[in-house]
Structure 1
């Protein structure tokens, strides 16, 4: 296997783009919500936290793909690498090593972070092994873990902008929950073949549409309330940014949910949901103005 192709396959297996987004999100949140724009050239504890988070996420992607081979052979056979490019044992070894490295970085940070890392590793394993097969349970767990990537930053500082911090934690949870259920709808055929009782498989796409609409509607109301609070604080630029880059695209998606039953249409919504998550994350920087 050529080195270039090997690296491309490894990056695909650990979802390098998603890992970069996780690291970027924590950096932006730390800079905007924790140290409030003050320049810190080197903070070993935060760097250890960020590296540990990325390592756990990479390990989580590995173990998820390990248990998902049967489903992925139906949903996206061209992207299956385990059993083709990489042996199962090599993936398991990499999974263990990544988690061990994460626990070491967590111990270097502090005991609370190490404990959080340990719980997260166990949660991701049981999610991949069984919980993702139970309607909504796996979705709620992943959404909660996405929110935890921000919650762990609370361990660093007492003087946090609590309103904005809670907003972005809930933003991560709700947007993550919406996208996870949307991905389950996209993967419904493969999950059904593998015997996974995800929400779309168990209740059908009709009820899934209603659930997605409800979550997105709550998400939009939540965004409007926060935007209005920023307007009342005379921070109109935050309200304007959220209206254009987050609220409007989310509102655009509402009617599309009931019109998107093909895989291609659902994929478009999944990509738009990811874009909303990124633009929402960037809005943290506006708190510094």
Structure 2
């Protein structure tokens, strides 16, 4: 049996894990490595990519900055989250704001140190990334359009740093990025619909609050139609192997999303829509190896 002190420490650990969204960071790490192996550095062997110390430093620095970003976002949104996510807020409050801020500065410092191993340009990149996340959390997220656009850009930035590192400028990468950007933009707007109550109470000027739910749904429909462009290009124009099945799956889910969207009015219904987009993103990560199934089969053969 755990002592009372041990239980308290364990609860604080889960509280901080909740604040930094540890599950999201883990998914980002996996996504960065899979994207590196199968897309950005497909001309290199799996071993070269996995044991690339510079890549490891960039991935760890990205993870530290993202964790810090979740902390500072939690700090500024604490009052709003009490309304939108009361249960999660109670768990998050087990760790004091001072402790969270201290951890925030430590994580950003660690990120800069890790980046310095790669190059001075990497240090500048992550310094700008840290500042951009703070600016978004402090001010930009309260603004319609700018907040949504900034959030989507910040979300794909960890992939951008790997893209710059490998200097791979193939067209297929930009089309993949376009699809991801559009899905994330839809997710951010859906989150705004989901969080109207808290945003309104805290004077956030999000798209649903400024322009209304109907206008937001029209924008989501337009974004959904736009995703057809990169999805169909990837299926029919580029060689993406069996990952084409993921895009068929995504288009089917997006059709379901659109059907449910115009029938949704409550927080729970918008949460379901949000989860549909999260499933698409998660499925996209785990399906990356399908681009070159031969690499997967080779690894299975070696294991057997």
- Greater than 3 Å deviation, 4+ residue runs: 81-84
Unaligned runs of 5+ in 2: 294-304
Deviations 1:52-106 (A, max 9, x none): 1011111101101101111111111221158831222111111111111111111
Alignment partner for residue 147 of structure 1, among 156, 160, 163?
156
Structure 1 residue 251: Cα displacement: 1.9
- 1:186-242 CA-partner distances (Å, limit 9, x unpaired): 111101000111111111111111111111111123212221113xx5x66332342
Which residue of structure 2 lines up, in the alignment, with residue 196 of structure 1? 204
Instruction: Give the stretch that moved more between structures: 170-179 or 277-286.
Output: 277-286
Q: Which runs of 5+ in 1 are unaligned?
A: none
Q: Alignment RMSD, CA only?
A: 1.8
Instruction: Report the counterpart of residue 104 of structure 1 in structure 2.
Output: 113
In the aligned structure 2, how far is the partner of 1:118 from the partner of 1:183?
28
How far off is 1:18 after superposition?
0.7
Q: Which moved more, 1:184-193 or 1:147-156?
A: 147-156
Partner Cα separation in structure 2 for residue 279 and residue 119 of structure 1: 30
**1:1-289 correspondence to structure 2 within 5 Å:** 2-36=8-42, 38=45, 39-40=47-48, 41-81=50-90, 84-158=93-167, 160=168, 162-230=170-238, 233=239, 237-243=242-248, 245-289=249-293
CA contact (8 A) 1:53 1:102 kept: yes
Q: Which moved more, 1:35-44 or 1:216-225?
A: 35-44
Q: Separation in 2 of the partners of 1:45 and 1:236?
A: 29
Residues 256-277 of structure 1: per-residue CA shift (max 9 Å, x gap): 1111111111111111101101
TM-score (norm 1): 0.92
**Deviations 1:9-40 (CA, angstroms, capped at 9, x unpaired):** 11111101111111111011111123326123
| CA–CA separation in structure 1 for the residues paired with 2:93 and 2:32 | 34
CA distance in 1, matches of 2:40, 2:200: 44
Equivalent residues, number: 284
Alpha-carbon distance between aligned partners in 1 of 2:178 and 2:113, rounded to the nearest angstrom: 29
Question: C-alpha distance in 2, partners of 1:60/1:34?
Answer: 25
**Aligned-partner SS, 2:226:** helix
